[in-house]
């Protein structure tokens, strides 16, 4: 087998393994990837991506960053920013400028870099980016407002940080090197405008072709994928680092054309983005040297990192958001969270080479300085975000929420019991009349069609980990489950059993094996079955299992007509009884069941 093939397989495999370990042990994925990269690279010497991939290393990293940034910008729908326009605008403009100035001062006076190098690296260090922010937000379950601000800042500032570093370098050349004229500065601005125009035109062009049906469904994702690469490449050939700006403009343009098929394509892009993020982080960290790692522990680098964490970021956020409607708690959270990622690492390595070639020998420390900041921020912010959000009451809690689609006597009774146990519950229905039962029971409701595109802008789905489709229409239940599969995961999407009618058995089998969620409860528990039970006085009971009153005793004593629904675990985890799942019930757990009314 070719050595390069082995190395590619190993790097990609380690990236996916990192993601799985992070999911399995509920750790920040970026931290796990960094640690595995360091272990397999400079510490154990198993892989050396820069040497093994040679000339492919830099182009692959650049293209991967472009795709990741495009995927992130594809989520920037202007409808989401309504109500937070002012703080977002302030943070990505005034906040970024303040962070550049303060970061440059810290780099010069603390890290002992020359003014030229300090100004360049200060511009670069304003970035956060989707590669680090989006995974953290998925894990932390922040409330919508701070989550949206951090997401928008990360994606918008990412290309601007790279451009600011380029602009700083042009200024340095203009001031220091006589052969560089003012025309170079003008060309930089012109190239940036051209990059935005290229991204906008390609975004509008692709969107128009989608709307007119000029691209078949099966080719949409591949076409967009190659157009993103072309967009980045063309803009980057005009001026280095403007490619990131171009793909961001393309993504935002597509996101705000509100094309229905964009959602399907977005899932493909998210999968590619996860794979690329994992691979690139492994490659970058594994490509470091032991010299770089040991230099991190110099006092001036440690002090610089501490200043960036505790002074530069908080001060820039607090000053830039004066006069906005952000609360002190929101400012504290946003002022603390600013993890650096792939863009900072890749762009700093580029400028380290360029600045050294121009005679700035102190630029040799840039890679060390950047990795110290990246590793410190992903660890500090990755492990502290959830904790700090809870302390500031800016998270939605650890309890998994349940979205029940279809308001009826059973779903409302089920939601009421789950609410009593402390779980966030929401009953959704398009009929105010059907929602009347839920409103009387003081259960949170959503009036609207959950399959409509605008739902994601009117309904915050962050608290909800489970979806239960429980309407009287089997086909609709299946569509609801299919719509939520990508976001919730197949294990967390349920529907009631499909009616078993003799004349449609073949159609039922077809639905059950294609578009559907997991079948809830035991076989044959249809909407009609539950409706009949509720009409005849059945109700839902909570039963606490103890060492004295075991689960086995409970099963022996319960009525034969009882239906097991779910188990509330001691740690607030929730498990639903389903066709394909057996649940271990232990002392301390609570069993929910549908039983005849006790006399």
Q: Which domains does the chain have, with CATH numbers?
A: 62-283+299-391 (1.20.1530.20), 401-596 (3.40.50.720)
Residue 581 β-bridge partners: 578
Q: What is the pLDDT of residue 448?
A: 84
CA 322/CA 98 separation, integer angstroms: 13
Residue 466 β-bridge partners: 402
Q: What is the pLDDT of residue 80?
A: 66
Please name the helix (run of DSSP H) or strand (run of DSSP E) that holds residue 135, with its range, or none: helix 130-140
Q: What is the pLDDT of residue 176?
A: 65
Residue 447 β-bridge partners: 429
Instruction: Average pLDDT across each block of 10 residues of the chain; the chain has 599 residues. List them in order.
Output: 78 89 78 86 86 82 81 71 81 91 92 88 81 73 83 78 75 64 76 91 91 84 89 89 84 82 64 79 83 85 93 94 91 90 76 80 86 87 86 81 90 90 88 87 87 67 85 86 79 80 48 64 84 86 86 82 85 79 82 80
Alpha helices, DSSP H, located in 424-515: 432-440, 455-458, 474-488, 505-512
> Using a CB cutoff of 8 Å and minimum separation of 24, what contacts does 420-424 make?
420/542, 421/542, 421/568, 421/590, 422/572, 423/399, 423/568, 423/572, 423/574, 424/396, 424/397, 424/399, 424/463, 424/464
Residue 446 β-bridge partners: 428
Q: What is the pLDDT of residue 336?
A: 93
Q: What is the token pair recorded at 235?
A: 């803009």
Q: What is the token pair recorded at 581?
A: 């799942």
CA 512/CA 590 separation, integer angstroms: 30
Q: What is the token pair recorded at 259?
A: 């094309």
**392 secondary structure, DSSP code:** T
CA 373/CA 340 separation, integer angstroms: 7
CA 456/CA 472 separation, integer angstroms: 24
Identify whether the C-beta of residue 472 lies closer than 8 Å to the C-beta of residue 483: no
CA 318/CA 105 separation, integer angstroms: 18
Identify whether the C-beta of residue 243 lies closer than 8 Å to the C-beta of residue 227: no
Identify whether the C-beta of residue 129 lies closer than 8 Å to the C-beta of residue 341: yes
Please name the helix (run of DSSP H) or strand (run of DSSP E) that holds residue 174, with its range, or none: helix 144-176
Q: In what order do the strands lie in the sheet with 464-469?
A: 445-447, 425-429, 401-405, 464-469, 493-495, 518-519
Model's pTM, two decimal places?
Answer: 0.71
Dihedral Cα 69, 70, 76, 78, nearest 10 deg = 130
Residues 6+ apart with CB under 8 A from 13: none
Residues 6+ apart with CB under 8 A from 566: 418, 574, 575, 576, 577, 591, 592
């Amino acid at each position: 087998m070719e050595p390069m093939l082995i190395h590619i397989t190993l790097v990609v495999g380690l990236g996916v393994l990192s993601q799985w370990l992070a999911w399995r042990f509920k750790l920040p994925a970026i931290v796990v990837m960094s640690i595995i990269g360091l272990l397999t690279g400079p510490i154990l010497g198993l892989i050396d991506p820069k040497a093994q991939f040679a000339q492919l290393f830099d182009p692959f990293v650049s293209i991967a960053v472009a795709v990741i940034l495009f995927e992130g910008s594809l989520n920037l729908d202007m409808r989401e920013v309504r109500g937070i326009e002012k703080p977002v605008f302030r943070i990505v403009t005034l906040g970024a400028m303040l962070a550049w100035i303060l970061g440059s001062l810290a780099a010069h006076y603390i890290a002992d870099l020359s003014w030229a190098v300090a100004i360049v690296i200060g511009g670069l260090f304003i970035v956060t980016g989707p590669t680090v922010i989006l995974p953290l937000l998925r894990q932390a379950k922040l409330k919508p407002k701070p989550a949206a601000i951090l997401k928008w800042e990360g994606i918008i500032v990412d290309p601007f940080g790279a451009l600011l570093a380029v602009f700083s370098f042009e200024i340095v050349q203009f001031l220091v090197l006589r052969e560089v004229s003012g025309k170079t500065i003008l060309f930089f601005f012109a190239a940036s405008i051209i990059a935005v125009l290229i991204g906008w035109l390609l975004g509008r062009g692709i969107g128009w072709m989608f709307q007119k049906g000029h691209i078949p469904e099966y080719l949409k994702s591949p076409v967009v994928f190659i157009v993103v690469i072309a967009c980045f490449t063309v803009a980057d050939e005009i001026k280095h680092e403007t490619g990131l700006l171009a793909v961001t403009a393309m993504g935002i343009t597509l996101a705000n054309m509100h094309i229905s098929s964009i959602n399907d394509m977005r899932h493909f892009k998210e999968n590619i983005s996860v794979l690329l993020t994992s691979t690139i982080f492994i490659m970058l960290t594994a490509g470091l040297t032991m010299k770089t790692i040991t230099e991190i522990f110099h006092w001036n680098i440690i002090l610089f990192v501490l200043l960036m964490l505790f002074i530069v970021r908080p001060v820039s956020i607090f000053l830039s958001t004066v006069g906005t409607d952000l609360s002190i708690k929101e400012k504290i959270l946003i002022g603390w969270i600013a993890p650096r990622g792939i863009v900072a690492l890749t762009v700093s390595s580029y400028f380290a080479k360029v600045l050294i070639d121009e005679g700035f020998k102190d630029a040799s420390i840039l890679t060390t300085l950047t990795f110290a900041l990246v590793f410190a921020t992903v660890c500090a912010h990755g492990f502290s975000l959830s904790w700090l959000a809870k302390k500031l009451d800016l998270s939605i809690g650890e309890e998994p929420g349940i979205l029940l689609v279809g308001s009826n006597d059973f779903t409302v009774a089920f939601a009421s019991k789950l609410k009593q146990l402390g779980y966030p519950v929401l009953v959704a229905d398009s009929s105010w009349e059907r929602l009347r039962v839920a409103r009387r029971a003081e259960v949170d409701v959503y009036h609207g069609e959950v399959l409509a595109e605008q739902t994601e802008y009117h309904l915050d789905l962050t608290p909800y980990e489970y979806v239960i489709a429980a309407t009287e229409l089997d086909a609709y239940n299946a569509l609801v489950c299919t719509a939520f599969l990508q976001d919730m995961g197949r294990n967390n999407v349920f529907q009631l059993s499909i009616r078993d009618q003799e004349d449609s058995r073949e159609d039922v089998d077809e639905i059950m094996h294609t578009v559907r969620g997991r079948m809830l409860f035991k076989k044959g528990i249809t909407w009609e079955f539950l409706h009949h039970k509720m009409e005849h006085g059945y109700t839902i009971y909570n039963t606490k299992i103890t060492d004295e009153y075991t689960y086995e005793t409970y099963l022996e004593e319960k009525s034969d007509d009882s239906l097991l629904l779910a188990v509330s675990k001691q740690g607030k985890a929730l498990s639903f009884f389903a066709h394909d799942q057996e649940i271990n019930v232990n002392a301390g757990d609570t069993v929910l069941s549908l039983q005849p009314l006790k006399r």
